[in-house]
Amino acid sequence: MKFFYLSIIVVIFFLSIFDLIVGLINDAVNFLNSAIGSQVASRRIIMIFSSLGILLGAFLSSGMMEVARKGVFDPSYFYFSDIIFIFLAVMISDIILLDIFNTLGLPTSTTVSMVFCLLGAAFSIAMIKMTSPFNNEPFHHLTLYIKAEKTFTISIGIFLSILISFTSGAFIHYFIRFLFSFEYESRLKHVGVIWTAISLSSMTYFLVIKGFHSTFQGSIDENLTGFYLFIQHFIKWIHHNFFIFFLILFSTWTIIAKIFVSLGYNILKFVVLYGTFSLAMAFAGNDLVNFIGIPIASIQSYNIWKESGSPPAEKFNMKSLSGNVQVPSSVLIFAGMIMIFTLWFSKKTKNITSTEINLSRQNEGPEKFLSNSFSRGIVRFFLYSGNHFFKLFPKRLLVKIEKNFKQKKIQKEENIAFDLVRASANLTISSILISIATVQKLPLSTTFVTFMVSMGTSLSDRAWDRESAVYRVSGVLKVIRGWFLTGLIAFTMAGITASFLYFFKAWALSFLIFLILFVFYRSYKTYHQMQDQKIEEKPFFGIGNLTLENSLNKTFDILNPILEYIETIYKNSIEGIIQENLKILQDSRNNFFKVKKIFTSIHNSLIKVIRKTKNREPIAGILYLHIYNKTKEIIDSSDIITNHTLFHVINSHKPLKYQQKKNLLTLEHLMIEHFNVIKRITKDKNCKTIQFPCIIQNQIIKKIEEQMNQQVMGIIHKKYGTKNTFLMLDILLQSKKITESIEDLILLYHNAFFHKKKMHTF
């Protein structure tokens, strides 16, 4: 049995490495998004500052390890075997849960995951022990096993951070933006210097001084080196002379900021980079417990049991685990290095950044979330309340305030989600809130804080205007709902896993190892499938001035792959309905969804592309818009054909009659010819060889009219059923629409080439 528990410790050790990796992937966005969203520097520079912050934060995080060992449950009421099963269940559940969220690209809270995994596993084992025939304890004894008050405090602290962070972000940033405005460059010499000094002083005080205080407190009575003794005396002096120290910090940073500004340097860039370093340090100091707290507690438990002579694990009380234990610095630095390597080399870190940046961006673009009745109700309520609230203030005052919140045109730039003022506010407010929680030994969720601060500052910046508010509110509500769901899933998963281990021991351990390997394999495959299916949006961005020349080239590049897909989809839909082949029709429908996804990226870039039209060539924007519109009509018709043919077969309706099948095959042949005409134009980027108007179009329209007449006669003579009739009418009518849209596209290109030729003549 001794080997069994040793093997569990080895498994937990390896799982801790995976936990560090999946945890960092999930939390990296918390300290990277502001720097990436504002494009303060190259990604390499941002990563260097983040890495330094992680390394220092890891070294200063030992005080937080107490939460993992005794923050949620009382070890003195559990035996060694119980504790080990709890810790193993937590590690397995946490890794699986975080890996699933990472693969789906959804940020969640590693703190919530760890705390509720601990709570679920401890609750499960406690209930088993209490209800066993040997104990048969009353239910209220559960409070002896689980630290209900402490757990409640942790939970309230975590979830209160949502409200506090959002309110702090919105309120503080409102005044920051009022002082800076969006034309902040002209105010850097005065307001910028003061804000920089406040920001850097606050982050320096909370992150460095308070960080050292957390690490070295409790070590006063030990034999310390001169350096550590000096640090402790210095911290003690700061604690009693806070205002003097803060004034020194403020004065120092003011002088430095003034020097940099006078040299023409944008000091806010340094604030954002320093803030990235600070938030990375706060993340490591606060969240490292989520990744290595459990493994360290497991090793400590095993050492306590082994030093006691390895008595029966099922009867050895773990009261000794309640004592204070100092975590070796080498372990913390090793953990920090793993996180740094993950930060640099994991591709999944880029997969999770989109949600926060999408919801907080200042510029226009696609909304990731759909609106719902609740978000619409919230927006209407605040619009109504706001209208009445602002009536209390003089109009002249409101107009003066509004000038500072008017966004300048440069910030419509595609890749920059927000400016340096908001990025610095995000990082400063988040760093301070997380650092306060770290000092108080409260496992605060960095995800909750950074996300909600970012949402609060975007609200102050009017990023949530009437065009986007309902979508942004809906997105925030969905993210918060996912956080609460994380707690529920973590509690349930860890509870079931702990029970499974308690009853089946070695068999359960073997099964769970295979389960983790299977989950990782599936998540790896799913992630790469998702990456393969991602549509690259680069063809629709990076256009300079939109001229007729590059408008034509751009639409050729867009249309060619879409028409290839549509032709295949149409052909497969006709063949699938004729053969009643469900697989062909399902593949056709899936291919349609790929086309729709491609077209969505075109739709999202439409306004941005048209805005780049040259003033002397408005025809370029008009052409782009018309081609977009005709392409949309073709896709909409394809949607109806693929959907209705699949619906007919999947519901086992009567097959088409022989004459109907024959008609569709004839129509398919003509439609493919028509597709080839427009495909030749887009492929050769020329329509000189194309006869206009196309003869094939008249043949298709004539054939469709004939087939519709046959269909009517068939209904009169009761040859065709209701379902068959509606299906045929849908296919014929949508085929006619596709034909007309293709002909309109050919006409658009014909006129564009003629206009281009005319321009070159002058």
Give 403: exposed, middle or buried? Use CB within 10 Å, 0-12, 13-18, 19+.
Answer: exposed
Q: Is residue 153 predicted with pLDDT exceeding 90?
A: no
Calpha distance 495→489 (Å, rounded): 10
Q: What is the pLDDT of residue 733?
A: 93
Residue appearing with tokens 């919530």 = 112
Q: What is the pLDDT of residue 633?
A: 92
Q: How far is CA 672 from the centre of its chain?
A: 42
Report CA dihedral (582, 585, 589, 590) to the nearest 10 degrees: 70
3-state secondary structure of 281: helix
pLDDT tens for 336-363 read 888 888 888 776 666 566 666 667 777 6
Calpha distance 564→466 (Å, rounded): 39
Percent of residues, the chain, with pLDDT higher than 70: 82
Average pLDDT over residues 168-174: 89
Q: Of 472, 428, 482, nearest to 168 (Cα)?
A: 428
- Phi first, then psi, for residue 113 (nearest 5°) are -60, -45
Burial of 7-27, coded b for 16+ CB within 10 Å and e otherwise, reads ebbebbeebbebbbbbbbbbb
Q: What is the pLDDT of residue 181?
A: 83
Q: Is residue 565 predicted with pLDDT exceeding 80?
A: yes
Better pLDDT: 556 or 668? 668
Angle at 582 between CA 576 and CA 585, to 5 degrees: 50
Calpha distance 694→230 (Å, rounded): 89
Q: What is the pLDDT of residue 219?
A: 47
Q: Is residue 255 predicted with pLDDT exceeding 90?
A: yes
Judge whether 605 and 540 are in contact, CB under 8 Å. yes
Q: What is the pLDDT of residue 710?
A: 86
Average pLDDT over residues 219-228: 52
Calpha distance 160→601 (Å, rounded): 38
pLDDT bucket at 442, cuts 50 / 70 / 90? low
Residue ranges of domains in the chain? 2-533, 541-761
Q: What is the pLDDT of residue 222?
A: 47
Mean pLDDT score of the chain: 80
Q: Is residue 762 predicted with pLDDT exceeding 60?
A: no
Length of the chain: 762
Q: What is the pLDDT of residue 540?
A: 41
Q: For 646-665, what is the HEC assignment?
A: HHHHHCCCCCCCHHHHHHHH
Q: What are the residues facing 613 on neighbouring strands?
A: 546
Calpha distance 233→219 (Å, rounded): 12
Q: Which CATH superfamily is domain 541-761 in?
A: Phosphate transport system protein phou homolog 2; domain 2 (1.20.58.220)
Calpha distance 321→338 (Å, rounded): 27
Average pLDDT over residues 641-648: 92
pLDDT tens for 593-639 read 888 877 877 777 777 777 777 666 677 778 888 888 988 999 999 99
Judge whether 158 and 445 are in contact, CB under 8 Å. yes
Calpha distance 61→79 (Å, rounded): 28
Q: What is the pLDDT of residue 601?
A: 73
Q: What is the pLDDT of residue 216?
A: 56
pLDDT tens for 378-430 read 888 888 887 777 778 788 887 877 777 777 654 444 567 788 888 899 888 88
Judge whether 195 and 179 are in contact, CB under 8 Å. yes
pLDDT bucket at 536, cuts 50 / 70 / 90? very low
Q: Is residue 228 predicted with pLDDT exceeding 70?
A: no
Q: Of 551, 545, 552, 548, nearest to 760 (Cα)?
A: 548
Cis (ω within 30 of 0) for the bond into 138? no
Q: Is residue 545 predicted with pLDDT exceeding 70?
A: no
Helix axes 469-533, 446-460, angle to 10 degrees: 130
pLDDT tens for 491-531 read 999 999 999 998 988 888 889 888 888 887 777 776 666 55
pLDDT tens for 2-14 read 788 888 889 988 8
Average pLDDT over residues 424-449: 76
Q: What is the pLDDT of residue 575?
A: 92
Q: Is residue 761 predicted with pLDDT exceeding 60?
A: no
Percent of residues, the chain, with pLDDT higher than 90: 11
pLDDT bucket at 226, cuts 50 / 70 / 90? low
The identity of residue 10, as a single letter, is V
3-state secondary structure of 79: strand
